[in-house]
């Protein structure tokens, strides 16, 4: 399985990955759900109801109404959010909501069209794992986390906007 | 004006080094053009017909003399000696080489400027009123909140890949100089009955293919909630705005599809989670930012109005200039001066040479406090001029071809760069602007016509804001030929209205004649000192149509001959 980038103790690192992303098949077709990331839509299909309990990891696509099944999602080991194209920015809001509104605190992984120049924004929105697109050099991509030491606005990774820091001494 | 502190400075420099690396990877082939495209767009770099175009951000249109000199230097060194001020208060350089962009950005950073988010599907440059902080009729100054919003939107990680571009405008005057209702989000800042600063928030305005004025989402919102409320709107848009069709991707389409009530309900539901969170603004931060905009160096007890009276009486052109180009100031003895970038047929609207920029920078220091503004009508403003200096400044401005007394008149044409530069354009804008300026070169006649806005866009993206012009001209493509569609009745300000198409489109060479006939109808039917737009409102568009198309068939034949 290809390596991924994970933020471990605030440090981005390249690590071996133990999960397999399943894109098309329904949960019912699997022998085992160990180490498999299953599409949210398949999980949500009543036909697969019998095996719901065995699924440990789910991938949310931007169109999925994930909030309707939030209780199920929060029982997972891992949630992945799919970027069908790097230009599709819905995943940033999905990640922000999972982290800041629903209290998700396990692995949140970006999958799909995940490229170097988007990684830092993804991290700020709460992703802590990144399956960089297979044709790109992951050792290259990991460099993108180091560009910024300042950010103006709060985000999932740090909710305090800069203006609160600016006035920290005077408050 | 706002000056960077250490944080602002570091952020902009870090952005330059990130972009330098992205350009390096593009040049080495590590990045495909498709992957590079949104990265360069988010840094204001477009590929145009002949070269790259770099759009530099001028936050809410405010520049220092030092910044203007840097723009002049870039114009001379990296472009062909000029820059183009846009309808969104920014500046564009049209002849840029990709290899040089990182160094240009580095130079810009050295004077606290950047090109961040001047393009791309993200929150663009925040715009506000050109006379903010100096207008005689101003109740509140919108600039502190505009700067706070600029910082919040800069490199905001959640909203960098929106369905489409996103424009926010802020206004605090009764006149609405910022045209807030033609923006994706428009915000009015005012004092409520209890004397508190509050916001009226509109969403879903925009020009382009489906021009529409925005609808009110919320009123009486305390200013401290500015950021969380805008965040709620953007999150709803980011999640539910259409992404399948770029012509249906602006927030206006979402607002229309849901209806304003349901859209507002979605926003309120989202905002309920964010309200009173860490992004709630503090009085300390407002005071910190606002302190940058306090100008207390005004001289009190001005005299010299007698000399001004004499100059006004002695020089008719100067008197015209004072009437059109000089705006009342909140401090007695001062005025705000608009330098017209539209002296006539030879100069494209908004184009300013490096030499002119350097003069403007010098004047801003000798006739003010070293500050310059850019108006969305593509003109340049010196905000703090002593009335006793007006005559001297006017003479100097005339010497640099910047003293034309035509602000708000027919020849103060607003135009996008059009097909001469832009690869999106269906038709050229500049030759039309030039031909019209040439036809109406009698300044006294143009003065007699009074307030009249003429806007030209080279395509449906409407950078020339043609829908908002009293007369609007839109370039269209018919079988590979350039044609021009004409609208009348558009207006900005409190009486915002979208123009109506008068009929079939025209060829370029017909355009000066078409404008002439519209003016003819106006002059014939005008009552007393009625403005063009008042006449259109009173008599409707039919008399104008009838005159323009009175011999349509023969004019067509002549045009083809």
Q: Could you tell me if B3 and B292 are in contact, meaning their C-beta atoms sit under 8 angstroms apart? A: yes
Tell me whether A162 touches chain B (CB under 8 Å): yes
How many angstroms separate the CA atoms of B61 and A56, rounded?
Answer: 53
Angle at B348 between CA B347 and CA B352, to 5 degrees: 75
Within this chain, do residues B220 and B263 fall inside the same structural domain, yes or no?
yes
Within this chain, do residues B90 and B15 fall inside the same structural domain, yes or no?
yes
pLDDT at B467 over 70: yes
Question: Largest Cα–Cα distance in chain A?
Answer: 61
To 10 degrees, what angle do helices B260-274 and B226-240 make?
Answer: 120
Per-residue pLDDT tens over the stretch B382-441? 999 999 999 999 999 999 999 999 999 999 999 999 999 888 899 999 999 999 999 999
Q: Looking at the partner chain, which of A93, A120, A162 has a beta carbon nearest the beta carbon of B7?
A: A162
Helix H or strand E segment including B395: helix B390-399
| DSSP-assigned letters across all residues of B230-299 | HHHHHHHHHHHS--S-GGG-SHHHHHHHH-HHHHHHHHHHHHHHHTTSTTS--HHHHHHHHHTT----PP
Q: What residue numbers bound the domain in which B280 lies?
A: 143-291
pLDDT at A1 over 80: no
**The pLDDT of residue B176:** 73
Q: Which of B268, B291, B314 is the last residue of a domain?
A: B291
**The pLDDT of residue B173:** 79
Residue A139 burial (10 A CB sphere; 0-12, 13-18, 19+): exposed
Low-confidence winner among A28-32, A150-154, B22-26, B239-243 (lowest mean pLDDT): A28-32
DSSP at B452: -
Q: Could you tell me if B64 and B371 are in contact, meaning their C-beta atoms sit under 8 angstroms apart? A: yes
The three state secondary structure string of B120-171 is: CCCECCCECCCCCCCECCCCCCCHHHHHHHHHHHCCCHHHCCCCCCECEEEE
How many angstroms separate the CA atoms of A28 and A30, rounded?
Answer: 6
**The pLDDT of residue B558:** 52
pLDDT at A8 over 50: yes
**The pLDDT of residue A27:** 65
Q: Do B35 and A117 touch (CB under 8 A)?
A: yes
pTM score, whole prediction: 0.94
- Is residue B490 in some structural domain? yes
**The pLDDT of residue B479:** 87
Report the CATH number that the domain containing residue B203 is assigned in CATH: 3.30.413.10
Tell me whether A164 touches chain B (CB under 8 Å): yes
CB contact set of A165 (below 8 Å; sequence gap of 6+): none
Within this chain, do residues B240 and B165 fall inside the same structural domain, yes or no?
yes
Tokens 């080094």 correspond to what residue?
Answer: B17
pLDDT at A52 over 90: no
pLDDT at A119 over 50: yes
**The pLDDT of residue A35:** 87
Q: Could you tell me if B341 and B425 are in contact, meaning their C-beta atoms sit under 8 angstroms apart? A: no
How many angstroms separate the CA atoms of B488 and B382, rounded?
Answer: 31
- Is residue B223 in some structural domain? yes
**The pLDDT of residue B65:** 98
Q: What percent of chain B has pLDDT over 90?
A: 86
Per-residue pLDDT tens over the stretch B81-109? 999 999 889 999 999 999 999 999 999 99
Task: Indicate the pairing of strand A129-130 with strand A107-112.
Answer: parallel
Ordered by where they begin, the domains of chain A are: 4-145 (3.20.20.70)
Q: Could you tell me if B279 and A161 are in contact, meaning their C-beta atoms sit under 8 angstroms apart? A: yes
Mean pLDDT of A83-100: 97
Helix H or strand E segment including B353: strand B351-353
Residue B561 pLDDT class (50, 70, 90 cuts): very low
Residue B492 pLDDT class (50, 70, 90 cuts): confident
Within this chain, do residues B156 and B262 fall inside the same structural domain, yes or no?
yes
User: Which own/partner pairs from B198-204 qualify as long-range (CB within 8 Å, at least 24 positions apart)?
Assistant: B198/B222, B198/B223, B199/B223, B199/B225, B199/B226, B199/B229, B201/B229, B201/B233, B203/B233, B203/B251, B203/B255, B203/B263, B203/B267, B204/B251, B204/B252, B204/B254, B204/B255, B204/B256, B204/B260, B204/B263
The rounded radius of gyration (Å) of the Cα atoms in chain B is: 23
- Is residue B366 in some structural domain? yes
pLDDT at B455 over 60: yes
CB contact set of B34 (below 8 Å; sequence gap of 6+): none
How many angstroms separate the CA atoms of B499 and B211, rounded?
Answer: 10
DSSP at A161: -
Higher-confidence residue of B268 and B307: namely: B268
**The pLDDT of residue B560:** 46
Q: Do A151 and B155 touch (CB under 8 A)?
A: yes
Within this chain, do residues B418 and B516 fall inside the same structural domain, yes or no?
yes
How many angstroms separate the CA atoms of B356 and B459, rounded?
Answer: 29
- Is residue B75 in some structural domain? yes
Higher-confidence residue of A171 and B469: namely: B469
Which residue in B85, B87, B46 sits closest to B457, CA to CA?
B87
Termini Cα distance of chain B: 57
Tell me whether A168 touches chain B (CB under 8 Å): no
Report the CATH number that the domain containing residue B316 is assigned in CATH: 3.90.480.20
Q: Which of B349, B372, B399 is the last residue of a domain?
A: B399
Residue B553 pLDDT class (50, 70, 90 cuts): low
CB contact set of B291 (below 8 Å; sequence gap of 6+): none
**The pLDDT of residue A28:** 64
Tell me whether A142 touches chain B (CB under 8 Å): no
Per-residue pLDDT tens over the stretch B9-18? 999 999 999 9
pLDDT at B494 over 60: yes
Q: How far is CA A39 from CA A20, A85, B250, in A?
A: 11, 17, 29
**The pLDDT of residue B428:** 94
Within this chain, do residues B211 and B264 fall inside the same structural domain, yes or no?
yes
Q: Alpha helix (H) ranges present in A23-128?
A: 40-43, 70-73, 90-100, 119-124
Tell me whether B520 touches chain A (CB under 8 Å): no
Given phi > 0 = left and psi -120 to 50 = alpha, else beta, which region is B413? beta
Q: Could you tell me if A125 and A94 are in contact, meaning their C-beta atoms sit under 8 angstroms apart? A: no
How many angstroms separate the CA atoms of A48 and A57, rounded?
Answer: 15
pLDDT at B77 over 60: yes
Q: Could you tell me if B340 and B26 are in contact, meaning their C-beta atoms sit under 8 angstroms apart? A: no
Q: Do A149 and B288 touch (CB under 8 A)?
A: no
Per-residue pLDDT tens over the stretch B323-378? 999 999 999 999 999 999 999 999 999 999 999 999 999 999 999 999 999 998 99
- Is residue B116 in some structural domain? no
pLDDT at B182 over 70: yes
The three state secondary structure string of B15-36 is: HHHHHHHHHHHHHHCCCCHHHH
pLDDT at A43 over 90: no
Q: Do B278 and A90 touch (CB under 8 A)?
A: no
Within this chain, do residues B452 and B551 fall inside the same structural domain, yes or no?
yes
CA nearest B285 in A: which residue?
A163
pLDDT at B187 over 70: yes
Mean pLDDT score across all residues of chain B: 94
How many angstroms separate the CA atoms of B378 and B413, rounded?
Answer: 9
Distance from CA of B18 to the nearest CA of A (A): 6
- Is residue B137 in some structural domain? no
Within this chain, do residues B196 and B265 fall inside the same structural domain, yes or no?
yes
Within this chain, do residues B286 and B148 fall inside the same structural domain, yes or no?
yes
- Is residue B518 in some structural domain? yes
Mean pLDDT of B223-234: 98
Handedness of CA B179, B181, B187, B189 (dihedral sign): positive
**The pLDDT of residue A34:** 81
Within this chain, do residues B91 and B192 fall inside the same structural domain, yes or no?
no
Tell me whether A117 touches chain B (CB under 8 Å): yes
Q: Which of B257, B291, B325 is the last residue of a domain?
A: B291
Q: Do B161 and A87 touch (CB under 8 A)?
A: yes
Q: Do B152 and A124 touch (CB under 8 A)?
A: no
Distance from CA of B21 to the nearest CA of A (A): 10
Which residue in B40, B8, B10, B4 sits closest to B25, CA to CA?
B40
- Is residue B118 in some structural domain? no
For an interface test with B, give the residue of A68, A87, A145 to mutate (most B CBs within 10 A): A87
Residue B260 pLDDT class (50, 70, 90 cuts): very high
**The pLDDT of residue B556:** 54
CB contact set of B407 (below 8 Å; sequence gap of 6+): B324, B325, B338, B340, B377, B379
Mean pLDDT of B265-277: 98
To 10 degrees, what angle do helices B6-28 and B33-41 make?
Answer: 160
- Chain A neighbors of B151, CB-CB under 8 A: 152-153, 162-163
Mean pLDDT of A98-116: 97
- Chain B neighbors of A120, CB-CB under 8 A: 157
Tell me whether A160 touches chain B (CB under 8 Å): yes
How many angstroms separate the CA atoms of B331 and A143, rounded?
Answer: 53
How many angstroms separate the CA atoms of B287 and B276, rounded?
Answer: 19
Lookup: tokens for B147: 């700067």
pLDDT at A94 over 80: yes
pLDDT at A69 over 60: yes
Tell me whether B276 touches chain A (CB under 8 Å): no
Domain count, chain B: 4
Within this chain, do residues B318 and B286 fall inside the same structural domain, yes or no?
no
Q: What percent of chain B has pLDDT over 70?
A: 98
**The pLDDT of residue A171:** 40
Distance from CA of B359 to the nearest CA of A (A): 35
Tokens 């101003």 correspond to what residue?
Answer: B138
pLDDT at A170 over 50: no
CA nearest A163 in B: which residue?
B285
Q: How far is CA B544 from CA B492, B534, B537, B540, B554, in A?
A: 21, 13, 12, 8, 18
């Amino acid at each position: 399985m290809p390596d991924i980038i994970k933020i471990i103790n605030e440090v981005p690192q390249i690590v071996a990955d133990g999960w397999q992303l399943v894109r098309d098949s329904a949960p019912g077709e699997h022998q085992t759900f160990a180490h498999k990331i299953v599409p949210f839509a398949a999980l949500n299909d009543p036909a697969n109801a019998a095996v719901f309990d065995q699924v440990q990891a789910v991938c949310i696509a931007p169109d999925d109404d994930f909030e309707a099944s939030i209780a199920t999602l929060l029982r997972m080991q891992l949630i992945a959010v799919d970027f069908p194209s790097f230009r599709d920015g819905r995943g940033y809001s999905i990640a922000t909501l999972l982290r800041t509104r629903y209290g998700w605190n396990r692995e949140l992984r970006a999958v799909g069209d995940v490229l170097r120049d988007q990684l830092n924004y993804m991290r700020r929105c709460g992703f802590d794992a990144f399956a960089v697109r297979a044709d790109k050099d992951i050792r290259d991509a990991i460099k993108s986390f180091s560009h910024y030491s300042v950010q103006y606005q709060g985000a999932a990774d740090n909710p305090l906007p800069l203006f609160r820091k600016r006035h920290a001494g005077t408050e | 004006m706002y000056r960077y502190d250490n944080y602002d400075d570091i952020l902009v420099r870090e952005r330059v080094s990130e972009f330098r690396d992205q350009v390096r990877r593009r040049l080495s082939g590590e990045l495909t053009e498709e992957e590079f495209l949104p990265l360069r767009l988010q840094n204001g770099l477009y590929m145009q017909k002949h070269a790259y175009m770099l759009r530099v951000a001028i936050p809410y249109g405010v520049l220092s003399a030092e910044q203007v000199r840097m723009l002049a230097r870039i114009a001379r060194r990296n472009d062909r000696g000029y820059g183009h001020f846009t309808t969104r208060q920014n500046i564009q350089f049209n002849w840029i080489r990709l290899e040089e962009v990182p160094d240009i950005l580095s130079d810009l950073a050295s004077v606290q400027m950047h090109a961040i988010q001047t393009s791309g599907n993200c929150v663009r440059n925040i715009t506000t009123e050109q006379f903010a902080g100096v207008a005689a009729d101003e109740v509140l100054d919108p600039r502190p909140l505009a700067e706070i919003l600029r910082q919040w939107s800069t490199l905001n990680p959640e909203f960098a890949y929106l369905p489409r571009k996103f424009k926010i405008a802020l206004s605090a005057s009764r006149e609405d100089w910022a045209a807030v209702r033609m923006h994706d989000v428009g915000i009015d800042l005012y004092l409520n009955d209890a004397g508190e600063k509050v916001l009226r928030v509109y969403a879903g305005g925009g020009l382009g293919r489906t021009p529409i004025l925005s609808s009110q989402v919320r009123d009486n919102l305390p200013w401290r909630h500015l950021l969380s409320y805008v965040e709620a709107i953007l999150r709803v848009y980011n999640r539910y705005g259409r992404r399948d069709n770029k012509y249906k991707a602006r927030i206006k389409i979402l607002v229309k599809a849901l209806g304003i009530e349901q859209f507002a309900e979605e926003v309120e539901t989202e905002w309920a989670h964010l309200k009173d969170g860490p992004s709630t603004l503090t009085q300390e931060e407002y005071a910190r930012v606002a302190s940058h905009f306090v100008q207390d160096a005004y001289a009190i007890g001005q005299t010299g109005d007698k000399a001004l009276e004499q100059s006004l009486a002695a020089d008719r052109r100067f008197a015209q200039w004072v009437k059109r180009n000089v705006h009342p100031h909140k401090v007695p003895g001062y005025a705000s001066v608009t330098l017209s970038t539209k002296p006539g047929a030879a100069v494209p609207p908004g184009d300013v040479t490096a030499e002119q920029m350097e003069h403007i920078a010098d004047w801003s220091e000798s006739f003010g406090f070293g500050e310059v503004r850019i108006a969305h009508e593509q003109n340049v403003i010196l905000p703090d001029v002593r009335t006793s200096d007006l005559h001297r400044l006017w003479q100097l401005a005339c010497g640099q071809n910047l003293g034309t007394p035509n602000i708000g008149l027919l020849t103060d044409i607003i135009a996008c760069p059009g097909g001469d530069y832009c690869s999106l354009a269906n038709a050229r804008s500049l030759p039309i602007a030039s031909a019209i300026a040439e036809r109406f070169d009698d300044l006294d006649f143009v003065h007699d016509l009074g307030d009249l806005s003429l806007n030209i866009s080279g395509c449906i993206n409407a950078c020339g804001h043609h829908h908002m012009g009293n007369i609007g001209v839109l370039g269209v493509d018919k079988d590979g030929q350039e044609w021009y569609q004409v609208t009348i009745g558009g207006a900005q300000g409190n009486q915002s209205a979208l123009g109506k198409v008068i009929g079939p489109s025209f060829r370029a060479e017909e355009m000066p004649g078409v404008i002439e006939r519209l003016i003819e109808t106006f002059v014939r039917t005008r009552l007393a000192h009625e403005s063009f737009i008042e006449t259109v409102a009173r008599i409707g568009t039919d008399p104008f149509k009838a005159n323009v198309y009175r011999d349509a068939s023969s004019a067509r034949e002549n045009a083809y001959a």
